[in-house]
Amino acid sequence: MELTYRPRRLRRTPALRSMVRENSLAASDFIYPLFVHEGNDIEQIVAMPGANRWTLDGLVEEVIRAWNLGIRCVVLFPKVDDALKTEAGEECFNENGLIPKAIRRLKKELPEMTIMTDVALDPYSIDGHDGIVSAEGIVLNDETIENLCKQAIVQAEAGADLIGPSDMMDGRVGAIRESLDDEGFENVGIISYTAKYSSAYYGPFREALDSAPRSLNEKPIPKDKSTYQMDPANAREAITEAQLDEQEGSDILMVKPGLAYLDIIYRLRQESELPIAAYNVSGEYSMIKAAAEKGWIDERSVVLETLLSFKRAGADLILTYHACDAAAWLKKVE
């Protein structure tokens, strides 16, 4: 055949392929989500093989391990004792609470590690929602933001580097930015959950934190989070959310979930010059783990291909429970 151009020429050898490779992965791309609880024992999370609820001591060891693998950021999620949960989630801004204690401990043991936090009420709420639920069963926007601002300030005081509002209340990024600045924390960044969808992929995460919506009394509780998290059918709306978060002072934009929403990552990459993060969520993680345990897929190959897909779509950062495994695999490749 008389072909002027043969694309396979540049695929012929490993060296040629590496020369023209458009995207690559590095351990510093990863943000490692970690669950922490007040217990004395490290607890395995059944729905997330390989993931644990860490004690404070275990958390420190795991974060040091991540650092040694080249990971430079972790995000903390608390499993809060039921006795501390209330309708307004006031435990979220307890300066002696689990997350502030964990931040202070990590900053003492490994000050170089970037610490990201989660700002939302669901781990602290008896109702399991990211905001305060009214007597009529409505998730209240402005009242919730007051507590989120208090939560963010307590986390910043403890030493957090990045505040991650995951609640999806309207206007919370601007309110948190203003509160942080007023308290002298103008150097603390905001990584906003910009396009967070009302997704079925969050199930294992909610098991890990016991944070699913639930009704413990006669108050009507919305059965899901669709009145504030985004409709999975919508794409253009993500651009609106991104524009608002950018205007309100977000430093990094996030898309959650990641794998089922690669098109959203791509759209935001075209619209914004800010760094973009993709959250490779618990359901995506657990599906790979389950298939690998069955021997149906090669875990290493599928994980690295999946993570690379986020970079190809336009993400700069990836929150993933695979972080340490992926970092170790990449280190061996190098």
pLDDT of residue 212: 78
Tens of each residue's pLDDT in the chain, 334 residues:
999 999 999 999 999 999 999 999 999 999 999 999 998 999 999 999 999 999 999 999 999 999 999 999 999 999 999 999 999 999 999 999 999 999 999 999 999 999 999 999 999 999 989 999 999 999 999 999 999 999 999 999 999 999 999 999 999 999 999 999 999 999 999 999 999 999 999 988 888 777 777 777 778 888 999 999 999 999 999 999 999 999 999 999 999 999 999 999 999 999 999 999 999 999 999 999 999 999 999 999 999 999 999 999 999 999 999 999 999 999 886 5
Q: Can you tell me the distance from the alpha carbon of 154 to that of 101, in angstroms, rounded to the nearest whole number?
A: 11
Q: Can you tell me the distance from the alpha carbon of 67 to that of 107, in angstroms, rounded to the nearest whole number?
A: 13
Q: Can you tell me the distance from the alpha carbon of 245 to that of 168, in angstroms, rounded to the nearest whole number?
A: 11
Tens-place pLDDT, residues 259-274: 999 999 999 999 999 9
Residue 179 maps to a domain: yes
pLDDT of residue 333: 60
Residue 268 maps to a domain: no
Q: Can you tell me the distance from the alpha carbon of 326 to that of 87, in angstroms, rounded to the nearest whole number?
A: 39
Tens-place pLDDT, residues 147-172: 999 999 999 999 999 999 999 999 99
Q: How many CB atoms lie within 10 A of CB 13?
A: 9
Question: Is there a catalytic annotation at residue 196?
Answer: yes
Residue 166 maps to a domain: yes
Residue 226 maps to a domain: yes
Question: Is there a catalytic annotation at residue 256?
Answer: yes
Inter-residue contact 195 to 201 (CB < 8 Å): no
Residue 195 maps to a domain: yes
Range of the structural domain that residue 147 is part of: 25-250
Residue 114 maps to a domain: yes
Q: Which residue, among 323, 310, 317, 260, has the nearest Cα to 287 in the 3D structure?
A: 260
196, 225, 289, 311: which one is catalytic?
Answer: 196
Burial class (CB in 10 A: 0-12, 13-18, 19+), 103: buried
How many domains does the chain contain in total?
1
Residue 210 maps to a domain: yes
CATH number at 84 reads 3.20.20.70
Q: Which residues contact 75 (CB under 8 A, 6 or more apart)?
A: 31, 32, 33, 34, 116, 117, 118, 162, 164, 319
79, 256, 289, 311: which one is catalytic?
Answer: 256
pLDDT of residue 107: 98
Residue 197 maps to a domain: yes
The whole model's pTM is what?
A: 0.94
- Per the prediction, the chain carries an average pLDDT of 95
